[in-house]
Structure 1
Amino acid sequence: MPTPSPIASPYLTRHTRPDRPARRLVCFPHAGGAASFYRPWARYADPSTELLAVQYPGRENRFREPLIPTMEPLVSAVADELLALPPLPTVFFGHSMGAAVAYETLLRLERAGAAHVTRLCVSGRSPDGAADRPAVRTDDEVVEAVRSLGGTHAAVFDDPELRELLLPVIRNDYHLIDGYRRRTDAPPLRADVHALTGDRDPQVTPEEATGWKALTSGSFTLTVLEGDHFYLVPAAERVARTAMEPAQPLPV
């Protein structure tokens, strides 16, 4: 697979770089995740789609940078970097914690007057997350929470060295999302919203995912696929192609 093209912002990793991009997909990783999670989606992108993934500090090429433990400074930094890009018809896709980060980032872009993000795809999360979130988790509770969701992270905890390496990042992200509360007085999004979830996701039911409908003045779509919280791993092609459906053209 080709190496992603460099980009000036450390917050954004390019997985494709079309000569003449017509649209853009920006992907937001889950708790403990990184930009590389979305690298395989490049094979499903057409030649005119620019695929970007957000890289949170403290992982992969940003390993030595301080982690950000709260939502506000993270989304402010991401929003600033995205606003600096040339506008293209854009879709946001966020999974789990990434759905909340994508939503808050889009709120900031729309507040700044940006109208080029025409659709928000939120995966594996209801608008307000789990109702029984603990205020504080021990390391063992973080590990158990990750194991209960499956996905690619669970096996790393069997290796003491990998556990020591990755646990601070995952613990940070759980702290961030456990402490996050969506503002109930936030204006509705102008962008359309597409919620996706697995039919056996222990964190969100299809009915709870439908709650995103109330957060937009645009259209709402719900897609339920077979699988658990990480349903999108075996269904990568279908989810990626759904996310990369052409965004609406920008107003003339």
Structure 2
Amino acid sequence: MTLPTESPGTAPAEDPARWFRRRPRTSYPRVRLVCFPHAGGGAGLFREWPENLPGEIEVLAARLPARQDRFREPPVERMDELADRITEALRPYLDLPYAFFGHSLGSDIAYEVARRLERLYGHGPERLFVSGSAAPHVGDPVDIGAYDDPALIAEIQRLGAPGTELLNDPELAALLLPSLRADYRLSSAYRPALGELDVLRSPITALIGDRDPLVPVEGALTWAHLTGGGFNHRVYPGGHFYLDRHRRALLRLIQAVLLPS
């Protein structure tokens, strides 16, 4: 099912090219995979995904404010504002079936955008892939106010995020830590109760590392509460960033779901 991109005579308030990175087309895609990164992460997390997926799947990697090529922009620290802006920027890309992938904080962002699209159009993503995350109503927020810069850097590096060695450089750390702190504040403020959340029509697949220090496997299973369209899960060897080591296996799973033979 495809959706209208905008109402006649209107234009998107958000520039889609600022919000999503995509490679020039070499074929005609059948489905779009919209990817949302973890706290402090950027579109670069998904840089190698297009070359490991068939041309029928077009990857749109979210480019969020205050990081990478948007690092001069102020961060967005309210989930409602962030999800509203992303939803608006996505409108031109809704002419094909689409799915969402979110890792860690990106799972919450993907869910919030999906619920907005369902409210607007009665139909959201073909599937929501949530990775390294419990459902929004579960778990306690991390109190980053108790972390000075060295403690925050140690915590981020403990999780094994790609590129965290850059935080060992004081000048680079000064550039990167503000967006990290802003994302942790966003995540901490976003703790809705189960009754405040929509049950999606979209099916959900939860993906988790078996040694994730932030989210146990049973935590990932709580996403089943937020879908009426079917739920399954897959456990991979590894920690919070299992997807770095098991990228090919993960993308084979996504391909099999989005392009069933």
Matches within 5 A, 1:1-252: 8-15=16-23, 17-128=25-136, 130-131=139-140, 133-134=142-143, 136-140=145-149, 141-184=151-194, 185-247=196-258
Q: Which runs of 5+ in 1 are unaligned?
A: 1-6
What letter corresponds to residue 44 of structure 1 in structure 2? N
8 Å Cα contact 2:86/2:113 also seen in 1: yes
Instruction: Give the Å deviation of 1:137.
Output: 4.2
**Structure 1 residue 154, shift from structure 2 partner:** 3.1
User: Shift in Å at residue 135 of structure 1?
Assistant: 6.5
Give the counterpart letter for 1:46 in structure 2: P
Shift of 1:159: 1.3
| SS of structure 2 residue aligned to 1:196 | strand
Counterpart amino acid of residue 89 in structure 1: P
Alpha-carbon offset, residue 136 of structure 1: 2.8
Over 3 Å counting, the alpha-carbon distance change for 1:8 and 1:186 in structure 2 is closer
Return the letter of the residue paired with 2:197.
A
Report the 3-state secondary structure (helix = DSSP H, G, I; strand = E; otherwise coil) of the residue aligned with 1:25: strand
CA distance in 1 between counterparts of 2:259 and 2:248 reads 21
Q: Displacement, 1:130?
A: 3.5
Task: List per-residue Cα deviations over 1:76-116 (Å, max 9, x = no partner).
Answer: 10011112324222110000010111011101111111525
Secondary structure, aligned partner of 1:197: strand
Native 8 Å contact 2:117 2:124 kept in 1: no
Amino acid at match of 1:117: P
Say which SS state the counterpart of residue 67 (structure 1) adopts: coil
Gaps spanning 5+ residues in structure 2: where?
Answer: 1-14
Give me the identity figure in percent: 38
Q: Aligned residue pairs: how many? A: 243
TM-score by length of 2: 0.86
Q: Letter of the aligned partner of 2:142 in structure 1?
A: R
Q: Distance in 2 between matches of 1:209 and 1:248?
A: 24
Look up the SS of the partner of 1:108 in the other structure. helix
Q: Which moved more, 1:71-80 or 1:127-136?
A: 127-136
Scaled by the length of structure 1, the TM-score of the pair is 0.89
Q: Deviations over 1:20-74 (max 9, x none)?
A: 2211100000011001110111111212111101110112221221111121111
Structure 2 counterpart of 1:35, which letter?
A
What SS does structure 2 have at the residue aligned with 1:20? coil
Query: Secondary structure at the residue paired with 2:111?
Result: helix
1:177 and 1:194 mapped to 2: Cα distance? 21
Compare 176-185 and 200-209 and name the one that shifted more.
176-185
Root-mean-square deviation (CA, aligned residues, Å) is: 2.0
User: 2 CA distance for matches of 1:224 and 1:8?
Assistant: 33
Partner amino acid, structure 2, of 1:159: D
Query: How far has the Cα of 1:14 moved from its partner?
Result: 0.6
1:3 alignment partner in structure 2: none
